[in-house]
Amino acid sequence: MASRVSVSAPPKEGEVTTGPIYRSHKHYNEVAFSNDFGEATLRVPVRRIDLTDGTHFDAYDTSGIYTEESPALNLKEGLAKVRDSWPSAPAVAASVDAPADAPKVRTQLAWARAGIVTPEMAYIAAREGVDVEVVREEVAAGRAVIPANHKHPEIEPMIIGKRFATKVNANIGNSAVTSSISEEVEKMVWATRWGADTIMDLSTGKDIHETREWILRNSPVPVGTVPIYQALEKVKGDPAKLTWEIYRDTIIEQCEQGVDYMTVHAGVLLRYVPLAANRVTGIVSRGGSIMAAWCLAHHKESFLYTRFAELCDILAQYDVTFSLGDGLRPGSIADANDEAQLAELRTLGELTKIAKSRGCQVMIEGPGHVPMHKIAINVKWEEEWCEEAPFYTLGPLATDIAPGYDHITSAIGAAIIAQAGTAMLCYVTPKEHLGLPNRDDVKVGVITYKISAHAADLAKGLPCAQERDDALSKARFEFRWHDQFALALDPDTALDYHDETLPAEPAKTAHFCSMCGPKFCSMRISKDVQDYAKENGLDSVEAIEAGMAEKSQEFTDAGGRVYLPIASE
Amino acid sequence: MASRVSVSAPPKEGEVTTGPIYRSHKHYNEVAFSNDFGEATLRVPVRRIDLTDGTHFDAYDTSGIYTEESPALNLKEGLAKVRDSWPSAPAVAASVDAPADAPKVRTQLAWARAGIVTPEMAYIAAREGVDVEVVREEVAAGRAVIPANHKHPEIEPMIIGKRFATKVNANIGNSAVTSSISEEVEKMVWATRWGADTIMDLSTGKDIHETREWILRNSPVPVGTVPIYQALEKVKGDPAKLTWEIYRDTIIEQCEQGVDYMTVHAGVLLRYVPLAANRVTGIVSRGGSIMAAWCLAHHKESFLYTRFAELCDILAQYDVTFSLGDGLRPGSIADANDEAQLAELRTLGELTKIAKSRGCQVMIEGPGHVPMHKIAINVKWEEEWCEEAPFYTLGPLATDIAPGYDHITSAIGAAIIAQAGTAMLCYVTPKEHLGLPNRDDVKVGVITYKISAHAADLAKGLPCAQERDDALSKARFEFRWHDQFALALDPDTALDYHDETLPAEPAKTAHFCSMCGPKFCSMRISKDVQDYAKENGLDSVEAIEAGMAEKSQEFTDAGGRVYLPIASE
């Protein structure tokens, strides 16, 4: 694999997309860090958007070195292991209520509880624009997680919690049916280019280990997996043949590789399976259906549930974060918020307590298909039953009737559930229910979910969220087209669409919108109205009500035209 | 212009798209109607979706005869003038509180108040699946409107009101910059094919009258306009030169042609203009900016406001519905719910009372750009100040930062505002802010807004809304791929996407999803789990808890596999 500078067209086999985003450049803010265990200079990246007036706007950046002007890439070696040079604290007690058999641990949760500020916390504070104590407190309370396996030193640390910017996960991964390793690596680079905060490798086909290795070594963002998929491959696809030993070995293999968080469907209990028997769409989680099959076949609780404490101690060794899976999530509007779903969520609450007592970071997976009026209550239940562990939800899709557009059906649900407090959204692409997403689908999925996440951040009144909206709208009103494109979530598409109607470069500085032509451009007229009102002291209700008729006369005398056509028709 | 049977590719210049939607056929339910003034047989269309099990699902159908197998089209003559043969009631008092100078009128509002059930009301009741008295009561209360100009007998009547299915409007129309008449007619046919309930012709270029004539004569749905655009053309684009006489003549010209509803920006008062002076994006409504310019230039209230009663009496003659325009709607997140917007809305409330007292049907236009947490209150204000007149909103866009994806930023806002009570949503296409929508953009805009409308109808618990979701999800779980596509809002796209991953016809009956391959198909496993559980009496919690270990043994003996791979890997 080699690097390549390009944006629109897919790269050649074995290459990945590199180079800056439109009118932006990578900038690193240097943060001096020190604690009792050492010091480091943290280089925190931003996408610096260069505006035409000489100023700039700094945007949160997930894209790693790939968007540098000339990144020093070596895909075979992987990214630099930056975190290895940061000071690391020693093992501490897992928690004040840790069971007697729980070993001391080196996790962000345990350190936060012990009052230790880690380099990861400082890095995140700079990235999010908040005080580092906010980061430490939220992690200590278990309301936020920092997925960062000690064996994954390449990542740029990030946080998942409702007090921070809402995050977006992009699923990639090959299957028995389609796609190759290099395609998956490019999907990772491509997804993070457009703003994916984490990626999940959901590969189920051959070469699972190798695919994951390439992704991990080259990913600037945390990587999640669902280890049961690989375990199932090891028993040739027969759920009943799964054992604790096979699963445990798979977990250790993935921990050693550097996976940052793992979906574990430990809440699918035997007695919940009948609850799903009369659903319209049964069990739609792959992991959930596998575990349900196992429970039925053996007629007992799964090893994920019975061996959960052991599992915790393995994950804690690496500081791998639990993503407690919703194996019984609803797969249709009809099944939303039913007893199967809620029973499992209550069990995830119990498991959360166990994991945290052993020092593990935990987030909780949720939704699926849920109608709008049943969405917000999901967050309330999750917070109540799971001690406000960060909620990580798929969509939810707000209707079942639009296959081909499920990025949109779910963007509606995702925005609503994020506003209600979900910390990370798992994207849905246009191919959901129909096929595997290609590179274009991945981009559409990511951008769509960045919209939902940002809309929710605006609604939550997150500091800084509105600054970008204001900057873009100001550029729009001032006909600074290039700035409008540059500040957009997807400048390339905005530019392409503008080109379709008015391709010439002068149109990029034209004082009218391409929809209406110069004469009917409301922005144009409005700006003239505004300028005129200000110049003539008509920008207050008092001035207007004082009845300044002479001003009106002047305006008429001056031509009375509030627009100046600048293009022939 | 001639007809043509095709779906995906755009038709040739001068032709329009015809033919049934995937696995559907046009069906007409015949409704015998009579009242004191005559009788008629109403033929109410549905899209009958033919399912593979021999049953069918009837969907609300907006597409007119164009989706018949072999429509008898003559675009030059236009559609049959069906409503001309229906009994029409005589003029009645405009209202109980009608001013002394108000003439008697022939409007759905006045008739509804007089207890008269019209053929349009009966047609709509059959279409919506509700009792005709519900229709009459909602219209009488002014909570719903039936936009149906007496001079537009070609339309299939529909209703806009919060107790009915949420409606979607698609804007079309040429501008000085782009597009031709035949393109616009095709956009109308294309938009209604995918579910647009009304269309607005926003043409501003040359041939405004002729473009509108073609659209009106061939449209199966009500057509709206913004008459100020044509009036402005008549004064060569100079807002200050607009007069009541020019505007009045334009209104009459359009009423005579058959326009069903008209946007009138009568709420832009002189004293509100300064309220917009310090906004981030000023006045973004074209009509609003034109009227603001007029008010400033003449330093007095506009003729739309001062001559409003006269305007009412003209519209009432034809039963043209007012769509009171939001000339001061916010064009950015920063400007949402500001005093300019609210001041105008209060004035629209006053105008609503005047219009209704003179027998006119009224709806109120709203939003624009509004963050999620400020959306629902808009509906509350509108209902309080405007006597619950149907709210008709553009989006709103829930963030400003995604030009190129504003169908999505606004689908989020649209779903939320529709759930809160908006009766009709004005679509936004991916080209919003960037260019004029082409045929593909129109389709994406319509489908996206059908999603928002339907999601809201589910959330409002509208009778029948969930039936389609359940039918589609059932088809999905039973691997009836063709039925899943047919029940989708856009079968063609769903089918195309499935073909991309698994093109062969056998894949359309395969018992696994194309995402995961056979082994990891949760639906497949889940269905086996479900079947097994039912066959073995394990479909209740009691049975499971009774500890039927022998069942487990049987299951294992039977091969223990809950899936049967049906494709080689």
| pLDDT tens readout for residues B272-309 | 999 998 899 999 999 999 999 999 999 999 999 999 99
| Distance from C-alpha of A553 to C-alpha of A332, rounded to nearest angstrom | 64
Distance CA B228, CA A520 (A): 11
Cβ atoms A429, A394 nearer than 8 A: no
The mean-pLDDT minimum among A440-444, B396-400, B493-497, B515-519 falls in B515-519
What does each C-alpha distance from B474 to A47, A396, B173 come to in angstroms? Answer: 46, 18, 40
Q: Does A246 touch chain B (CB under 8 A)?
A: no
Distance from CA of A288 to the nearest CA of B (A): 8
Find the CB nearest A405 among B270, B447, B469: B447
Structure letter (DSSP) for residue B280: S
**Is 80 exceeded by the pLDDT of residue B116?**
yes
What is the arrangement of strands in the sheet containing A24-35, beginning at the earlier edge strand? A24-35, A38-50, A56-60
Minimum CA–CA partner of B460 in chain A: A373
The answer to whether B488 contacts chain A (CB < 8 Å) is yes
Distance, CA of A111 to CA of A106 (rounded, Å):
7
> Among residues A144, A522, A35, which one has the least CA distance to residue B290?
A522
Q: How far is B405 from chain A (nearest CA, A)?
A: 8
Residues of chain B found within 8 Å of residue A533, distances taken between Cβ atoms: 273-274, 277, 296
Residues 200-239 of A with CB under 8 A from B: 204-205, 229, 232, 237-239
Residue B510 binned pLDDT confidence (cut-offs 50, 70, 90): low
How far is C-alpha B124 from the chain's CA centre?
15
User: Of B441, B439, B406, B411, whose CA–CA distance to B425 is shortest?
Assistant: B411
Contact A442, A108 (CB under 8 A): no
Nearest chain A residue to B562 by CA distance is A293
Share of chain B above pLDDT 90, in %: 79
Lowest-pLDDT choice from A163-177, A193-207, B161-175: A163-177
Q: Which tens digit of pLDDT belongs to each residue from B222-258?
A: 999 999 999 999 999 999 999 999 999 999 999 999 9
Mutation for testing the A interface, residue in B291, B407, B408 having most A CBs under 10 Å: B408
Residue A499 pLDDT grade (very low, low, confident, very high; cuts 50, 70, 90): confident
Residues 6+ apart with CB under 8 A from B339: B275
pLDDT band at A140 (very low <50, low <70, confident <90, very high): very high
CB-CB neighbors (< 8 A) of B459 in chain A:
371-373, 398
pLDDT at B516 over 60: no
Please indicate if any CB of chain B lies within 8 Å of the CB of A482.
Answer: no
Mean pLDDT of A13-35: 95
Q: How far is CA A349 from the centre of its chain?
A: 23
Q: Do A533 and B205 touch (CB under 8 A)?
A: no
User: Is B101 touching A (CB cutoff 8 A)?
Assistant: no
Residue B357 has a pLDDT of 97
* B154 compared with A559, residue with greater pLDDT: B154
pLDDT of residue B526: 73
Number of A to B CB contacts under 8 A, please give it: 500
Q: Which residues on neighbouring strands pair with residue B197, listed in sequence order? A: none
Q: How far apart are CA A399 and CA A396, in angstroms?
A: 9
Rounded CA Rg of chain B: 26
Contact criterion met (CB below 8 Å) for A539 and A529: no
Preferred mutation among A21, A206, A291, A296 to probe B, highest tally of B CBs within 10 A? A296
Phi, psi of A152 (to 5 degrees): -125, 65
Q: B175 pLDDT band (50/70/90 cuts)?
A: low
The pLDDT assigned to B515 comes to 54
Residue A545: per-residue pLDDT:
54
Q: What mean pLDDT do residues B158-165 have?
A: 98
CA-to-CA separations, A541 to A533, A538, A552, B480, in angstroms, rounded: 11, 8, 15, 64
- Give the angle subtended at the CA of B252 by the CAs of B251 and B255, to the nearest 5°: 85
The b/e string for B516-540 (b: 16+ C-beta within 10 A; e otherwise) is bbbbbbbbbbbbbbbebbeebebbe
Mean local confidence (pLDDT), A153-177: 91
Q: Report pLDDT for A124.
A: 98
Window 414-433 of B: residues touching A by CB (8 A cutoff) are 415-416, 419, 430-433
pLDDT of residue A4: 38
Q: How confident is the model at residue A180 (pLDDT cuts 50, 70, 90)?
A: confident
pLDDT at B511: 63
| pLDDT score at B124 | 98
Contact flag B552-A277 (C-beta cutoff 8 Å) = no
Q: Give the closest of A275, A299, A555 to B552, CB-based.
A: A299
Tokens in use for A324?
Answer: 């407690």
Does the structure show a pLDDT above 50 at B561?
Answer: no
Contact B472 A400 (CB under 8 A): yes
Burial of B115 (0-12, 13-18, 19+ CB in 10 A): exposed
Question: Percentage of chain A with pLDDT > 90?
Answer: 79
Task: Give the residue numbers of the binding site of A.
Answer: 171, 200, 229, 265, 285-287, 326-329, 365, 369, 392, 433, 513, 516, 521
DSSP A166-226: PEEEEEE---SSS--HHHHHHHHHHHHHTT-SEEEE---SS-HHHHHHHHHHH-SS-EEE-
State the Cα–Cα distance between residues A482 and A480, nearest whole angstrom: 6
Tell me the chain A residues in contact with residue B302 when contact means C-beta distances shorter than 8 Å: none
Nearest in space to A122 (alpha carbons), one of A8, A39, A216: A39
Residues with Cβ within 8 Å of A368's Cβ and at least 6 positions away in sequence, in order, are A284, A285, A326, A329, A330, A331, A336, A394, A395, A396, A397
- Beta-carbon contacts of B187 under 8 Å, excluding residues fewer than 6 positions away, are B170, B172, B437, B439, B442
Do the chains contact at A551 and B502, CB–CB below 8 Å?
Answer: no
Backbone angles phi, psi at A282, to 5 degrees: 50, -130
Query: What is the structure's pLDDT at B529?
Result: 73
Q: State in Å, rounded, how far the first CA of chain B is from the last one.
A: 52
Tokens representing residue B416 in the block:
């939320």
Contact between A328 and A282 under an 8 Å Cβ cutoff? The reply is no
Residue B557 burial (10 A CB sphere; 0-12, 13-18, 19+): exposed
How far is the C-alpha of A323 from the C-alpha of A334, rounded, in Å? 26
Please, which residues 124-153 of chain B have a Cβ atom closer than 8 Å to chain A?
Answer: none
CB of A177 within 8 A of CB of B502? yes
List the single best residue of B166, B473, B482, B532 to mutate versus A (max A Cβ within 10 A): B473
Q: Which residue has the higher pLDDT, B514 or B313?
A: B313
What is the pLDDT at residue A184?
Answer: 87
Which chain A residues are closer than 8 Å to B517 by Cβ? 175-177, 204-205
What one-letter code names the amino acid at B117? V
Residue A36 Cα, gap to closest chain B Cα (Å) = 42
- Chain A residues within 8 A of B514 when measuring between CB atoms: 177, 434-436
Candidates B38, B5, B34, B40; CA nearest to B19 is B5
- Residue-wise pLDDT for B430-444, tens only, equals 999 998 888 999 999
The sign of the CA dihedral B184, B187, B189, B195 is negative
B299 is in an annotated binding site: no
From the CB of residue B38, how many other CB atoms can be counted at a distance below 10 Å? 13
A294 to chain B nearest CA, in Å? Answer: 9
| Contacts of B120 by beta carbon, 8 Å cutoff, 6+ apart | B83, B86, B108, B146, B148, B157
User: What is the mean predicted confidence (pLDDT) over A353-371?
Assistant: 98
Tell me which of A58-62, A442-446, A526-530 is least confident: A526-530
Instruction: For chain B, list the domains and their CATH numbers.
Output: 26-65+75-138 (no CATH), 153-459 (3.20.20.540), 510-568 (no CATH)
Q: In chain A, what residues touch B234 (CB-CB under 8 Å)?
A: none
Q: Is the pLDDT of residue A114 over 60?
A: yes
Mean pLDDT of A221-240: 96
pLDDT tens for residues B94-112? Answer: 988 899 999 999 999 999 9
Q: Given an 8 Å threshold on Cβ–Cβ distance, is B411 in contact with A411?
A: yes
Contact across the interface for B544 and A270, Cβ inside 8 Å: yes
Radius of gyration for the alpha carbons in chain A, expressed in angstroms and rounded: 26
B265 in reach of chain A (CB within 8 A)? no
Mean pLDDT of A363-375: 98
Rounded to a whole number of angstroms, the distance from the CA of B411 to the nearest CA of chain A is: 7
- Name the one residue in this structure whose structure tokens are 């212009």: B1
Cross-strand partners of A60: A46
Indicate left, alpha or beta for B326 from its phi (over 0: left) and psi (-120 to 50: alpha).
beta
Q: Tell me the Ramachandran region of residue A316: left when phi exceeds 0, alpha when psi lies from -120 to 50, beta otherwise.
A: alpha
Q: Which of A321, A263, A252, A311 is nearest to A288 (CA)?
A: A263
In contact, A455 and A447? CB cutoff 8 Å? no
pLDDT of residue A5: 38
On whether B386 is known to bind a ligand per the annotation, the reply is no
Is B200 known as a binding-site position?
yes
3-state DSSP call for residue A523?
Answer: helix
Give the annotated binding-site residues of A for Zn(2+).
369, 433
B94 in Cβ contact with B112 (< 8 Å): no
Say if A539 is an interface residue toward chain B (CB within 8 Å): yes
What residues of B are in contact with residue A273 (Cβ under 8 Å)?
A: 529, 533, 538, 544
8 Å CB contact of B468 and A515: no
